[in-house]
């Protein structure tokens, strides 16, 4: 990301992906894993594999950008990153939220829920950042070890979040 070092960019991506995964787990879902790919050229990419739908799905999707921005703020780096860059990295997530067909009120509820859950479980996001940057993949068990493992099965429409 423009304005950050390569390492900071990877950490921010890790925080973003772990935001998706941790909010999913807080909702009792079971993300299958998170990963990062650092191509020799160009920006690193990340992804989170999780199944969720409706308001929960929107909360999981919204959590990435919220977590990434929160990580930047905690490191005093948010001033170095433009609003346009932040919007760009979350574009795929926002498009998926739009496709869920929620009402504006439901969408707002989902974003509030994501922020609340991240606030409560932020230490889990932090705990996962360095391992994810180092190993470029955390599986379901690795994620569960960051905190409580999930609850009941949910009916789901599958999606894979991407940046």
| Cβ count within 10 A of residue 65 | 22
Pure H helices in the chain:
6-26, 54-74, 83-89, 91-99, 104-120, 122-135, 140-145
The answer to the question of residue 47 lying near Zn ion (CB under 5 A) is no
Stretch that binds Zn ion, among 36-44, 60-68, 96-104, 121-129 (CB under 5 A): 60-68
Nearer to Zn ion, 69 or 93 (CB): 93
Structure tokens at 137: 């993949």
Q: H-helix or E-strand containing 45?
A: strand 45-51
Nearer to Zn ion, 37 or 153 (CB): 37
Give the x-and-dash track for 130-149 against Zn ion (CB under 5 A): --------------------
- Within residues 75-94, the interface with Zn ion by CB under 5 A covers 93
Nearer to Zn ion, 98 or 153 (CB): 98
Beta bridge partners of 37: 45
Residues within the interface to Zn ion (CB under 5 A) = 64, 93, 161
């Amino acid at each position: 990301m423009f304005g950050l070092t390569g390492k900071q960019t990877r950490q921010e991506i890790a925080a973003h992906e772990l935001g998706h995964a941790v909010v999913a787990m807080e909702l009792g879902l079971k993300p299958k894993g998170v990963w990062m790919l650092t191509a020799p050229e160009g920006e690193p990419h990340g992804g989170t594999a999780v199944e969720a739908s409706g308001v929960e799905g929107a909360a999981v999707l919204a959590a990435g950008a919220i977590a990434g921005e929160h990580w930047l703020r905690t490191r005093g780096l948010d001033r170095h990153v433009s609003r346009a860059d932040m919007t760009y990295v979350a574009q795929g997530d926002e498009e998926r939220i739009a496709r869920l067909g929620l009402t504006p009120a439901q969408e707002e509820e989902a974003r509030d829920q994501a922020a609340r859950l991240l606030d409560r479980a932020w230490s889990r996001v932090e705990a996962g950042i360095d391992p994810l940057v180092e190993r470029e993949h955390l599986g379901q068990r690795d994620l569960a070890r960051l905190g409580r493992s999930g609850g009941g099965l949910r009916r789901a429409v599958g999606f894979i979040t991407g940046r």
